[in-house]
A = this chain, B = another copy of it.
Amino acid sequence: MSGQVLEMTSEQAVDANFDLTGWSRVRQLRVEQALSTWVAPDAPAGLGDAMRYAVLDGGKRLRPLLVLAASEAVAPLDTAVLRPLHDDAAFRARQDKAALRAACAVELIHAYSLVHDDMPCMDNDVLRRGKPTVHVQFGEARALLAGDALQALAFELLTPNDDSVSPGVQAQLCCLLARAAGSAGMAGGQAIDLASVGVKLSETQLREMHRLKTGALLQGSVMMGAACGAAAPAALLALSTYGAAIGLAFQVVDDILDVTADSVTLGKTAGKDAEQDKPTYVSLLGLARSQAYAQELLAQANEALQASGLHDTRALHALADMVVNRKN
């Protein structure tokens, strides 16, 4: 089966009639508006300014889009939902509210990790998304606190003190996000990254590092989206496989772009991996094999979606394609 899948091109998996740009634009706007409302406009002593600077008007919002796409994929036609018990419109509205909160929460975790990662004691980067990094703009102490407060805010968004999101969904979302962000996820991957400068890693070790550092939050985004609705176990497993594949693909492509793209296109300093002597897929496998590996992971993601039994996976297919074939 996998031989057949590996020959499938991304063009076959992506519906040519599906307008990812249009689909994304609507959702990016919704996320941007929600973030602008929710990200600490009243936080004291300049903290809110630093938090908003770190989060607003930045990035492709890939993680929020994954949350929303997964939530929409599991929405009303999934067999695990006992439909006679639910009013579809009310159920969908409730799910959309949860998904928007989950989308923003994941983005806050991503944003805080960039703030801390850019600090002098970590990567010491001064440029991010074409702007001065937060510690350059607001000082190190405030950058540290802004990152800390963004992480707390992520969990605050997931637990609205009203009945807009059911307690069970709130708890499940916090559970997924905490695991994706913590020592068995993103923070753990960053610790491995830190310890790997100048060290020769095996492909297994490199994959483990990226599975945690980048993959856990991307996969977590997909699973959080799914948790906003109700999905059959087989669909959850398929989404988990999809999330793992695009999570790893994202990093492989990152390593490729660090070599092939320029700083202006990237919106951050290109060529830093080699300069910092960090292990990458390109340094380990070479450019051509890294590119082939990215396509293989895309095929795995598409295969998982096709086996998921989910009704409409067009956005998830298109996002996987975008992750692998992006230019920055």
Query: A178 touching B159 by the CB < 8 A rule?
Result: yes
- A284 interfacial by beta-carbon distance below 8 Å: no
Alpha-carbon gap, A176 to B54, bound state (A): 24
Alpha-carbon gap, A113 to B122, bound state (A): 18
- A47 interfacial by beta-carbon distance below 8 Å: yes
Query: B184 touching A43 by the CB < 8 A rule?
Result: yes
Q: How far is the CB of A194 from chain B (nearest CB, A)?
A: 5
- A188 interfacial by beta-carbon distance below 8 Å: yes
Contacts A175-B159, A178-B156, A195-B46 given: A188-B149 contact, CB under 8 Å? yes
Alpha-carbon gap, A142 to B167, bound state (A): 35
Q: How far is the CB of A136 from chain B (nearest CB, A)?
A: 13
Query: A45 touching B171 by the CB < 8 A rule?
Result: no
19 other A-B residue contacts (CB within 8 Å) besides A51-B183, A122-B141, A158-B178: A43-B184, A44-B188, A44-B191, A44-B192, A45-B195, A48-B183, A121-B139, A121-B140, A145-B191, A149-B187, A155-B174, A156-B175, A156-B179, A159-B171, A159-B175, A160-B175, A166-B167, A167-B172, A171-B174
The 9 closest A-B pairs by CB, nearest first: A152-B182, A43-B183, A121-B140, A159-B175, A47-B191, A170-B171, A149-B187, A156-B178, A155-B178
